């Protein structure tokens, strides 16, 4: 286990402190251990929650199907034609 040297402080009301102390006692943990465990669990849950995007199945199916359907891209086609023209002019 890595040595614990970092500190984190928080301001709380007397009621919050009392609630945390009660919960730590019920868990048979020190207040510090209880707070760290609770904070780390919440942090891990939030990171997992925000590391992926969940969409309804029907939306996902439409998205994947749309990737198989070519779109007209007139701006892209025009840029490709212009690039080919410039290349021919430079080669000549």
> Would you say residue 24 has pLDDT above 90?
yes
* 40 within some domain: yes
- Count CB-CB contacts under 10 A for residue 83: 10
Q: Which domain holds residue 43?
A: 14-69
CA pair distance 75, 36, nearest whole angstrom: 55
Quick check: is 90 in a domain? no
Domain assignment present for residue 53? The answer is yes
In a domain, 39, yes or no: yes
Tell me the three-class secondary structure of 7-67, residue by residue: CCCCCCCHHHHHHHHHHHHHCCCCHHHHHHHHHHHHHHHHHHHHCCCCCCHHHHHHHHHHH
Tell me the two tokens of residue 20. Answer: 């945390």
Structural domain includes residue 83: no
Give 48-83 pLDDT, tens digit per residue.
999 998 899 999 999 999 888 887 888 888 999 999
pTM: 0.58
Counted domains in the chain: 1
pLDDT at 92 over 80: no
């Amino acid at each position: 286990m890595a040595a614990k040297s970092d500190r984190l402080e928080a301001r709380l009301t007397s009621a919050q402190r009392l609630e945390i102390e009660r919960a730590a006692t019920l868990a048979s943990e020190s207040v510090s251990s209880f707070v760290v465990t609770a904070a780390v669990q919440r942090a891990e849950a939030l990171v997992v929650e925000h590391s992926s995007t969940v969409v309804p199945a029907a939306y996902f199916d439409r998205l994947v199907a749309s990737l198989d359907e070519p779109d007209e891209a007139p701006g892209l086609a025009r840029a490709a034609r212009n690039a080919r023209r410039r290349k021919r002019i430079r080669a000549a």
